[in-house]
Structure 1
Amino acid sequence: MAHRFEITKELEVGASPEAVWEAIATGPGMDSWFMGESEVEPRQGGRARWSIGGYTEESTVTTWDPPKRFVNTGTEGPDGTFHRFDYRIEDRGPRRTAIRYVHSGMLGEDWEAEYEGMSEGDPMYLHKLVEYLTYFSGRFAVGIDAQGPTVPDREHAMSMFRRGLGLGDEAADGDQVRLTPEGFEPIDGVVDYVSPSFLGVRSVDALYRFIYGFDGSVMVGHHLFADNVDAEATRHAWQTWLMRLFDASLGAVAPG
């Protein structure tokens, strides 16, 4: 049985309505803060596509009113499930824009876990949208998504993330940090997001996210704004890092 849900958030950003529109209603804009890869046909009734990890979801642009309102409605599944993303954009003056975000639809059998995950995940992604518009507006990122093993205990997983990055458990929002993940050059940045399931760091040319999914999987969801990023090689490197870090912590043999 499908269960109706709705998550509503309001935020204000230091960017023009046009910059916000580009971020939420175009493929390159969405790829610079949201997970996976997005394509949007820029018109009322246009098709949209979102892909991550071999999974693709189709949707339809049900409202196209630039730069005021964008609504993207997912294709309904056999069980009646679907997602709708509704963005209302309001000009608040010179480089100030309000966004009203409504994520609604119908969830399936595991709706309670899904809703809990979205209730924590949606605010993180909206915060990342604000970070993107504040620090990287007008630039587009290469998105890096990689998934590691399933870890039963969230607290243990987040502690392992910190250990693998060379951080203490006390790392807090606003702290200047140096990340030292094995296999990468050190990354200097500032902690810009901390919650029970997410750790975020912003550097001069990237937004890094370390994620504990609602299904227990550990993931990274990064956005790299540097020039000449080799997306596949970088994704593979972070995938290897995840597997080495968490397979070792779970008592498995890390890949060679």
Structure 2
Amino acid sequence: MSTTPHVPYRLEFSVEVPGTPEQVWRAIATARGMSAWFLPTELEEHEGGSLHFSMGPEMGSDGQVTGWDPPRRLAYEEDWAALMGKSPDELSPLTSEFLVEARSGGTCVVRVTSSGFGTGADWEAEFWEDMGASWKPFFDNLRLYLSHFPGQEATQLEATASRPGDVATLWKSLSDALGAVEKGAAVQVRDTSGTVERLGERQALVRLTAPVPGMLSAFVFDEADGKATLGVRGYLFSADAADYVRREEPAWRAWLEEL
């Protein structure tokens, strides 16, 4: 029996970031820009263009650009049902809109709205709650990117480890190992130096200064069966970044597994 999605869901927030509308647009509406602070992204930069966000070796989200008005408005739809392994008639597409407004003093406000329709199932409400908690920290990445690396192409590093234990205990282990005790704290781990730019609930953002400049996000999230995933995601900005990732990504994974 098919179910017509009718229960509305909505997530809305805004962030102020440095840069002109054109600089902000290049960061939020191009594949190169989005890959430098969000997830590895493929994007055809026009209305009707296809879109793909990579979420891991065999995970991703596919969509289509539905609104394209540079440098003011970007809108796109993702296939929420396919992403969640549900029937297409259970869930509407997941619609996201970015509006860029210039402010005096060389900054812009980016207003972000995501919306969709479901059936009112418990897991749907949890999905939206988790989406807000996991998506908003990326916009601190955007602010840091536009502050220090605008227009630069990122090489991404990603390492995760699945461990038994509760998220609070594992996060304490990870944050202590990083030295992420407060905003502004110096980080020195695995020959890597930086400064804590943001400290959230089970998530920290570090501005890296050595051995390669960039950003490092550290996080822990809950799995099922009494396990949690610890991870680091790096966005690196230098000619040496690709060599660093090839050499160091396995070592970061081993470091997480040994914590």
For the criterion TM > 0.5, the same-fold answer is yes
CA distance in 2, matches of 1:16, 1:93: 10
User: Residues 162 and 96 (structure 1 numbering): CA distance in 2 closer, same or farther, change over 3 Å?
Assistant: closer
SS at match of 2:168: helix
Higher mean displacement: 40-49 or 201-210: 201-210
Structure 1 counterpart of 2:30, one-letter code: T
How far residue 224 of structure 1 moved from its aligned partner, in angstroms, is 0.9
Determine the structure 1 residue equivalent to 2:256: 242
Determine the structure 2 residue equivalent to 1:28: 32
Determine the structure 2 residue equivalent to 1:143: 156
Are 1:116 and 1:214, in contact at CA under 8 Å, matched by a contact in 2? no
Seq. identity, %? 24
* Residue 64, structure 1, aligned to residue 68, structure 2: yes
Unaligned runs of 5+ in 1: 246-256
CA distance in 2, matches of 1:197, 1:73: 29
Structure 1 counterpart of 2:45, one-letter code: P
How far residue 51 of structure 1 moved from its aligned partner, in angstroms, is 1.1
Structure 2 counterpart of 1:52, one-letter code: M
Measured on the aligned residues, the alpha-carbon RMSD in Å equals 2.2
Determine the structure 1 residue equivalent to 2:184: 174
Write out per-residue CA displacement over residues 20-47 of structure 1, whole angstroms, 9 at most, x where no aligned residue: 1111111111111113x10110111100
How far residue 99 of structure 1 moved from its aligned partner, in angstroms, is 0.9
Determine the structure 1 residue equivalent to 2:109: 98
How far residue 197 of structure 1 moved from its aligned partner, in angstroms, is 1.7
**Number of equivalenced pairs:** 236
Determine the structure 2 residue equivalent to 1:130: 143
Are 1:198 and 1:209, in contact at CA under 8 Å, matched by a contact in 2? yes
User: Residues 207 and 84 (structure 1 numbering): CA distance in 2 closer, same or farther, change over 3 Å?
Assistant: same
User: Residues 214 and 85 (structure 1 numbering): CA distance in 2 closer, same or farther, change over 3 Å?
Assistant: farther
Determine the structure 1 residue equivalent to 2:45: 42
Write out per-residue CA displacement over residues 28-70 of structure 1, whole angstroms, 9 at most, x where no aligned residue: 11111113x1011011110011112121221000001110000
Determine the structure 1 residue equivalent to 2:196: 191
Unaligned runs of 5+ in 2: 82-86
SS at match of 1:190: strand
How far residue 110 of structure 1 moved from its aligned partner, in angstroms, is 2.3
